Amino acid sequence: MDSDSSSSSSSSTTSSSSTSSLPSSPSFTSPFKSGVMRYMLYLSQEDLERFKQLLVREQPEAGSTQITWDQVRTARWGEVVHLLTEYFPGHLAWDKAHHIFASMDKTQLCDRTRMELQELLPHLEPTGPPPRRALRTLEEEYPAMVQHYRKQVLDHYSDLVDGLAWPGNQADFFYQDILRHQRLLPCLFLPRRPHGRPPRTVVLRGVAGAGKTTLAHRVMLEWAGCTFYPHKAWCAFYVHCRHVAHDEEQSLCGLLSRQWPQAGALAAKALARPEQLLLILDGFETLALPLAHRHKDLREDWRRKLPVPILLASLLSGKMLPQASLLLLLRFSSWRVLKPLLSCPSVLTLSGFTAPERTRYLRRYFGDGRAADKAVDFLRGSAIPSSMCQAPAVCWLVCLCLKEPMERGADLFLAFPNAAALFARHLSNALVAAVGGLPGTLLQECLQGVCSLAAKGMWAARWVFGEKELERAQLGPEAADALLRAHVLQSVVRGEARYTFTLLSFQEFFAALWYVLRFPGRFPEFQKLDQAHVRRLLAQPGRRRNDLALMALFLFGLFNETCARAVGRSFRCEVSLGNKEVLSRTALWQDRLPTKHHGLPLLFYCLHETREEAFLAQVLQRCKQATLMVAKHRDLQVCAFCLRCCQRLREIQLVLTLTIHKAIPEGTNWRLCWWEELCMALALQELEALSLTNSVIELDTVQALSAALKSPRCQLHTLRLEGCSVTPTSMLEFAEDLSSNLKLKTLMVRRIYLKDEGACSLSKAQRERLALECCDYTLLSYQSLILNLSSNHRLTHLSLAGNALRPEGAKDLWSALQKAKCPLQRLVLRNCALTACCCWEAACALVQITTLQSLDLSFNSLTDEGLDQFCKTLENRNFGLQVLELEGCRLTSDCCQAVASLLLCHPSLRHLDLRKNDIRLRGVELLHQTFDQWKGDTRVVLERKQSCHVNVGLRLEGPRVDNKVLRILQDWDARPR
């Protein structure tokens, strides 16, 4: 794609001025969501050209130079924003943009500009003289030298496909541009919030194979063609760290000259003018030594030869050449290491192919016929291989593997049960073809050597291998040549004996295969895994990525017996499943399945790859509780499969953020199939408690879940729905289905909008415990709700917390509960907009409801007046209340006399919560006098307890009491002096 078409594609076709409404954010803004003036994106190409013409006519600030048409002729919207903030510092950039939009009659864009300026104004730098442009740029001073270098770059990068990573002899390989990556180019150095300054350092991070290096090559091509930030007088140099990975010392000038020998003189001149220097650094994972992190080790002199770790650390930290612009291409593992060195970097993430782009690739590879449909359906139904296809090269690899089985009509799901089977097919074909007619033992030498090399590299986080590493792996020259011909290995630098795996996933596969190979005549016959290795494979270090995760997936996949036999045949080797027992023992979970809040446990993905239910049941046999987040397509497939085998699972909290619909444009509806499978797995287990929290529950989702819960085998007795996005129609249907489930004893609904019919359906069933919290009904909704409650003969616990009952609703509720025949023990009316006038009716009801033992009235404006009335009404009455919670009820010391009287008259009270009230010294002294008068064996315990995260289940249950203890929750000192 050329720059003009890219510019056009990155501009909206919205060209009307004041009549059309602008979206709140563009559909692909997430990579640069912190950028400023993003509304420029909505200019059509025609309007953008008009904006640039008007910008050129603007008068420069004093001390600055006039903007020329050459500087903006090919500029895209992000580059125009960059130019604005450079030539018009501080608020002047927004003033100019506003003036131009007004000239173009763009009313909405004027409003956006004004609103953004008001938001950013406190953070913008004071308006001062703009930075003076250098008297002469490098291109103006050395035109022949720069033009020669530009031509050299164009020749070098004219073919975007890297000849090493993308084998040129693969006739069926084709390159597919990732449009989102193209759109990123003009926004790489987009000024960022809140200061509105362009970043000095930009980090592009992503998994191996996502397209980072290809995008960097595109930057170099655009720079050489004068279309990348054309107003900047940059001289761009791309440097891959593999060129210095084994150097002891190097200067920055030597580093650039080594990669660009014919531009050595230009590199020295550019380093002397760092404000005109753009350095693109790639391949940090190839470095043999970690970078220096101590500030005292960093140096400023770019001419001086330094150890490579110190040289690169000095450059990244800004100690060396602080005015230079840096673009860093990093894997996630490198990002974690380098992050402490970088000062305020702008971080963008490259995700590779999206699901639609993967589909487009498959259809382009196979055509639009039946073969393409089968391939697309297979990939959608194989969630793990599909997620790996974010890397374009892996997408091509999968296509290549599918081609032959499809031609002979094979079942693709049987041929390739997991990702390991796909990689085994490709790599075995490549290796056997490379060995060809060479001696028969060479294949086994290659296989054992490359597996050993890969495994040692994975454990040591080493991705580049020299002659010594190949010797230790017993890879001779002939074997190394065969691996190069098979495109398993590639030379790091041509002419040097240093190698890396063509794709990182190749190294991960062969590392896993190392622990499946069988070595006859050796004891043991396989390379044994120890438990420490297994724990490292399955570790989930917080939010960080486990760099061994894909190796773990391949390893478990290779222990699928069908896959293992296929590997033995295709690689012409013997395999051993001896390590499978080690995996099952080490991976065995105890009682609770500990998961992180951002996804499924890695173990679930690994177990899914084995596709063996008996093995899963053995590993998960002790799992009784689990918290699982289903956020991605692959999560749903994995979850559905694994939950079938959790035979002792009793409690599960599920977060479902996927949308599930019955109608899809084409192919099998795998998402609905997996959801129905997951629901039936929950129903068929002896599951007792299910929580669906912060989930998207569409009608189709509800119907599948309802069908499972109505199953005669379903043993569920507790269901919690909290914070779910659900339509009233779906909720009504779900509530009606639940009414037929007589085994369900506890229903908790919180932060879900309910209409009258939904509240009615949920409350009419004979539940023992019912919580309808923060459900946003209107007052009228309580008529049907309360009528149903009055007819419930089993209700023991009720919570209506967070609903605005107000005095009118509370009066109806108390009246209904007095008439009801249910054995109500716990009532929660926390934060229900109750006032002092509600207290008399509450006290009268307590006398009538003899079973009520626990009452929560916290966070209502009861005041001293209301509590005084409450206590006096109960003073000479009999009631069974043991728990009274009055947290945050706007009480003062004036209520303490009434509280003291209540405590003395009713010694059955065992728990009193007075936190977050304005009870001062006078009130505290009075209460302590009351405690001293307490008779009998009951002890008074004062506790200072912080309010914890809301747990609707615990709140519904209420505080536990000790018959020999009166527990007072308070936030004053234990006893006044």
| pLDDT higher than threshold 60 for residue 403 | yes
Tokens of 565: 């036999």
Distance of CA 507 to the CA centre of its chain: 26
Shared domain for 941 and 844, answered yes or no, is: yes
Residue 901, judged by CB atoms within 10 A of its CB (0-12, 13-18, 19+), counts as middle
Residue 269: Cβ within 10 Å count: 17
Of 272, 85, 264, the closest CA to residue 190 belongs to: 85
Same-domain status, 245 and 321: yes
Number of domains in the chain: 4
Q: 328 and 190 in one domain?
A: yes
pLDDT digits (tens, 9 = 90+) for 307-349: 888 899 999 999 999 999 999 999 988 888 889 899 889 998 8
CA dihedral (779, 782, 783, 784) positive or negative: positive
Query: CB within 8 A of 894, min separation 6: which ones?
Result: 864, 868, 923
For 424, list phi and psi in degrees, rounded to 5: -60, -40
Which value, in Å, is the radius of gyration of the alpha carbons in the chain?
35
Task: Note every long-range contact of 138-142, with CB atoms under 8 Å and residues 24 or more positions apart, other chains counting.
Answer: 138/233, 138/235, 138/266, 138/269, 138/270, 138/273, 138/276, 139/233, 139/235, 142/266, 142/269
Q: Which domain holds residue 268?
A: 137-344
CA 164 to CA 724: how far, in whole Å? 49
pLDDT confidence of residue 63: 67
Alpha-carbon gap, residue 965 to 97, rounded angstroms: 71
Exposed, middle or buried: residue 216 (CB in 10 Å: 0-12, 13-18, 19+)? buried
CATH number at residue 866: 3.80.10.10
Q: Which of 94, 122, 150 is the last residue of a domain?
A: 122
Give strand pairing partners of 692: 654, 721
Cβ neighbour number for residue 879 with a 10 Å cutoff: 19
The answer to whether the beta carbons of residues 396 and 386 sit under 8 Å apart is no
The pairing of beta strand 489-491 with beta strand 499-501: antiparallel
pLDDT category of residue 240 using cuts at 50, 70 and 90: confident
Of 155-169, 599-613, 962-976, the poorest mean pLDDT is in 155-169
pLDDT at 5: 35
Q: Is 14 among the domain residues?
A: no
Q: What pLDDT, on the 0 to 100 scale, is given for residue 830?
A: 94
The better pLDDT of the pair 589, 761 is held by 761
pLDDT at 784: 64
Q: Distance between CA 237 and CA 256 in Å, rounded?
A: 7
Q: What is the pLDDT of residue 157?
A: 82
- The answer on pLDDT for 835 being more than 60 is yes
Quick one: average pLDDT of 916-920? 91
pLDDT of 797 reads 95
Strand-pairing partners, residue 593, are 626
> Which three-class secondary structure state does DSSP give residue 282?
strand
Structure tokens at 506: 């190749």
Write down the pLDDT at residue 543: 56
How high is the pLDDT of residue 143?
A: 92
Q: Residue 480 phi/psi, 5° resolution?
A: -60, -40
- Would residue 339 count as lying in a domain? yes
Decide: 612 and 643 in contact? Cβ < 8 Å.
no
Do 370 and 333 share a structural domain? no
Domain of residue 175, CATH code: 3.40.50
Query: Are β-strands 249-250 and 306-307 bridged in parallel, bridged antiparallel, or unpaired?
Result: antiparallel
Q: What is the pLDDT of residue 530?
A: 87
Q: Does the pLDDT value for residue 247 go beyond 60?
A: yes
Q: What is the DSSP string of 925-944?
A: HHHHHHHHH--TTPEEEEE-
Regarding whether 157 and 295 lie in a shared domain, the answer is yes
Quick one: pLDDT band at residue 524, thresholds 50, 70, 90? confident
Which whole-number Å values give the CA distances from 560 to 419, 567, 608, 613, in the listed order?
A: 11, 10, 10, 11
Q: What pLDDT is recorded for position 782?
A: 54
In tens, the pLDDT along 34-60 reads: 888 988 888 999 999 999 999 999 887
Determine, yes or no, domain membership for 962: yes
Same domain, 264 and 391: no
Same domain, 54 and 159: no
Q: Mind listing the pLDDT tens digit for each residue in 204-218?
A: 998 888 888 888 988
Q: What is the largest CA-CA distance in the chain?
A: 104
CA angle 149, 153, 157 (to 5 degrees): 175
| Letter string b/e over residues 677-689, b meaning 16 or more CB atoms within 10 A of that residue's CB | bbbbbbbbbebbb
* Domain final residue, candidates 280, 312, 344: 344
Strands of the sheet with 346-349, listed across from one edge: 235-240, 277-282, 325-330, 201-205, 346-349
Q: Do 100 and 207 belong together in one domain? A: no
The pLDDT value recorded for residue 783 is 61
Q: What is the pLDDT of residue 778?
A: 54
Confidence band of 698 (pLDDT split at 50, 70, 90): confident
Q: How far apart are CA 558 and CA 529, in angstroms?
A: 14
Query: How many helical (H) and strand (E) elements, i.e. helices and strands, does the chain have?
Result: 42, 25
pLDDT at 599: 61
Please state the rounded mean pLDDT for residues 841-867: 93
pLDDT confidence tier of residue 368, bands split at 50, 70 and 90: confident
Together in a domain, 888 and 955? yes
In a domain, 868, yes or no: yes
Helix (H) or strand (E) holding 413: helix 412-415
- The answer as to whether 192 is a domain residue is yes
Query: What are the backbone dihedrals phi and psi of residue 542, each rounded to the nearest 5 degrees, phi first?
Result: 65, -135
- The residue count of the chain comes to 977
Domain contains 59: yes
For residue 291, what is the DSSP state?
P
> What CA–CA distance (Å, rounded) separates 577 from 427?
20
Question: Considering the chain, what is the average pLDDT of its residues?
Answer: 84
Residues 378, 732: Cα–Cα separation, whole Å: 36
pLDDT in tens, 893-902: 999 999 999 8
Q: Judge whether 113 and 98 are in contact, CB under 8 Å.
A: yes
pLDDT exceeds cutoff 80 at 471: yes
What pLDDT was estimated at residue 542?
55
Residue 352 is classified by DSSP as -
Q: How confident is the model at residue 164 (pLDDT cuts 50, 70, 90)?
A: very low
* Cβ-contact 776, 831 below 8 angstroms: no
Quote the pLDDT of residue 572: 87
Q: What is the pLDDT of residues 767-782, one digit of tens each?
A: 899 999 988 655 445 5
**More confident call, 31 vs 572:** 572
Name the domain boundary from 416, 435, 452. Answer: 416
Nearest residue to 857 (alpha-carbon basis) of 920, 815, 796, 814: 814
pLDDT higher at 596 or 581: 581
Same domain, 219 and 238: yes
The reported pTM is 0.83
**Given this model, what pLDDT does residue 826 score?**
95
More confident residue, 367 or 129: 367
Nearest one of 28, 354, 68, 338 to 186, comparing CA atoms: 28
Of the listed ranges 235-249, 372-386, 592-606, 647-661, the one predicted with least confidence: 592-606
Would you state the pLDDT for residue 596? 43
Give the integer Cα–Cα distance in Å for 692 and 725. Answer: 11
Residue 448: pLDDT above 70?
yes
Q: What is the pLDDT of residues 263-315, one digit of tens each?
A: 889 999 999 999 999 999 998 887 867 777 777 888 888 989 988 888 999 99
List the one residue out of 693, 597, 691, 681 whose CA is nearest residue 636: 681
**pLDDT category of residue 526 using cuts at 50, 70 and 90:** confident
pLDDT for residue 411: 94
Residue 858 and residue 831 in contact, taking contact as beta carbons nearer than 8 Å: yes
Q: Which of 7-16, 351-360, 501-510, 861-870 has the lowest mean pLDDT?
A: 7-16
Residue 551 has pLDDT above 90, yes or no: yes
pLDDT of 15 higher than 50: no
927 or 421, greater pLDDT = 421
One domain for residues 186 and 158: yes
Give the pLDDT mean for 220-227: 92
Query: Is residue 260 one of the residues assigned to a domain?
Result: yes
Same domain, 844 and 918: yes
CB 427 within 8 A of CB 509: yes
Q: Could you tell me the pLDDT band of residue 249, with boundaries at 50, 70 and 90?
A: confident
CATH code assigned at 47: 1.10.533.10
Say whether pLDDT at 672 is over 70: yes
Which residue's structure tokens are 């100019």? 96
Residue 1's pLDDT is 36
- For the stretch 723-742, pLDDT in tens is 888 887 888 888 888 877 88
Decide: helix, strand or coil at residue 369.
Answer: coil
In DSSP terms, 285 is beta-bridged to none
Quick check: is 242 in a domain?
A: yes
What pLDDT is attached to residue 132? 54
